[in-house]
Structure 1
């Protein structure tokens, strides 16, 4: 199978474990899922050969993770999954992350490696994400649940653009936190903050991937380039 001219989104849908592989190589499979593996790797300056080898191993191994089950779910089941697994979870995650970030900045603000501005960045992201999720819950998801997904091209386009904005916000968080790696001597609160940030990042990327590359693709396929 020729992987390099397939989109990251196609590969992420087809091969369980591909999302983790792409993330390890800094390939944006969630917001940049319409790029081919060849184009994404070139933009990131990475060699496609080892990635292709690992994709072949993952494909041969089969789906032991359960990750591929949503590819075959109904649109209604996907919407219910997104609401329970991601929307509800983000609403629990962000207030606590903001609280921890403020505490770290207050206590360790004199340190050069303190993530200055992280609490404000997370607060802004929480507002943007809440607005985004409410639009999905009040407009797009009811259209899909009522069988009008084929008419949802406009709302889907808006949601994809907002997903791109979320991706930019995640990269800003990574820059503020040295790739979400706590420095030497970080206190328990600081380490807990970064552990929570890594979980939030993984959840948000999986959330965007599920919508962009699986749910939305059924009604408004993205142009591959």
Structure 2
């Protein structure tokens, strides 16, 4: 596979284990954007040589992640509920609390992520509304094997996924790509560590829905 000329989303689907590499380098592999990986890495100033090496190492070691496409739909849905919906509802209130503390304490620091807490409230509200649509409407319909579901509701969810990814991009902008400065306090460190975990989770959440569940 020519990694440089292949989109991150296509690599993620065809090379189990590649998602872990993309996670660690903040490469978005969830959207339907067919931008080649080489271009995506240039846009994010990523270490291309290191990423290619890690992807090739996966091939060499035959490192595989859980093959969700072998699961029944109901098992995938239950996994999404417990692994992502429930977890996001725990993550965001704490991230908002930490962001408020950092912004209040370090407002005069040029590296302070001013506006982050307010932005995370928006993320929380929009994500909660989205998850409730899935839990109360779409997923119960998908769980019915005999039901022929129109493409419209799924396309709406995919568009909202793209909106979520745009919100994530703003987090990177506010936080300077979630890069800590040397004198960051423990709350600041905890905030950025939590943001990275949340972003990794939302990437995988969207990936499983778009590329596994909705494909069914």
Query: What's the TM-score, normalizing by structure 1?
Result: 0.83
**Structure 2 CA distance, aligned partners of 1:50 and 1:149?**
46
Offset, 1:56: 4.3
- 1:2-28: CA deviations, max 9, x gaps? 667765434313322211334556542
**Structure 1 CA distance, aligned partners of 2:215 and 2:7?**
12
Q: Is the 8 A contact 2:116 2:174 kept in 1?
A: yes
Offset, 1:129: 0.2
**Within 5 Å, which residues of 2 pair with 1:1-225?**
8-23=8-23, 27-32=27-32, 35=34, 39-42=36-39, 44-45=41-42, 54-64=54-64, 67-147=65-145, 150-218=148-216
How many residues are aligned here?
Answer: 213
**Structure 1 CA distance, aligned partners of 2:30 and 2:191?**
24
- 1:49-84: CA deviations, max 9, x gaps? 9866654432342245xx233121111111111000
When residues 53 and 149 of structure 1 are mapped into structure 2, their CA distance, relative to the original with a 3 A threshold, is: farther
Q: SS at 2:67's partner residue?
A: helix
Q: Is the 8 A contact 1:30 1:208 kept in 2?
A: yes
Deviates most, 174-183 or 52-61: 52-61
C-alpha root-mean-square deviation of aligned residues, in Å? 2.5
When residues 51 and 44 of structure 1 are mapped into structure 2, their CA distance, relative to the original with a 3 A threshold, is: closer
When residues 103 and 24 of structure 1 are mapped into structure 2, their CA distance, relative to the original with a 3 A threshold, is: closer
Q: Could you tell me which residue of structure 2 aligns to residue 222 of structure 1?
A: none
**Structure 2 CA distance, aligned partners of 1:115 and 1:54?**
31
Q: Which has the higher contact order (CA 8 A, sep 6+)?
A: 1
Query: What's the TM-score, normalizing by structure 2?
Result: 0.86
**What are the ranges of 5 or more consecutive residues in structure 1 without an aligned counterpart?**
219-225
**What are the ranges of 5 or more consecutive residues in structure 2 without an aligned counterpart?**
none
**Structure 2 CA distance, aligned partners of 1:45 and 1:197?**
23
